[in-house]
Amino acid sequence: MIPFSKPDLRFHAVLLLLALCVGCAGLRSPRTAVDAAREHDPAIQWNAQSVIEADLDQDGRADYALLGTRKDHVVVGIVHGPLAAGTPVWTLEFSVKSGGEDALCSADAKIAVEPLGDEAKTRRGGGQGVGLNLHDDKCDAFHIFWNPEKKKFEWWRL
């Protein structure tokens, strides 16, 4: 058996330092969807009780949706599943006070899973997909869906 030479020890020391740096850089897996959303945008007040689970991007794996607030906005966060280090998080913000097409009538909003209609035509496998319904029961709901061509979440409203 040949003992380690100095270059071998340096190589192992460098590997150890790299492993420690990766661990310190925050590349660990989030434990919950709320953790992932907080890592993505810590300025948003995320509501842990609002988390729902569904295959929102129609890739065959469950994703997570949750609500948050920032100033005069309600935020819908969508966390790509399964949870892992660096998992993508999308956010859509809706004003509460602006009164425009992209505004809710109150901050008392809720999200629910809903079946998709025509916007799901490009779904893999051709089946019916699901999206999100964002509503405050005071004005028209927002219908949030995955656009596979643009690779992002979009919304429509009556």
pLDDT band with cut points at 50, 70 and 90 for residue 156: very high
Q: Which residues pair with 112 in a beta bridge?
A: 133
Task: Check: CB of residue 120 under 8 Å from CB of residue 83.
Answer: no
pLDDT reading at 82 higher than 60: yes
The mean per-residue pLDDT over the stretch 61-83 comes to 96
**pLDDT digit string (tens) for 93-115?**
999 987 788 899 999 999 999 99
Task: Name the more confident of 106 and 18.
Answer: 106
Task: Please give the model's pTM, rounded to 2 decimal places.
Answer: 0.78
As a whole number of angstroms, the distance between CA 151 and CA 117 comes to: 18
**Domains of the chain by residue range:** 33-156
Q: How sure is the predictor about 1, in pLDDT bands with cuts at 50, 70 and 90?
A: low
CA distance 6 to 151: 50
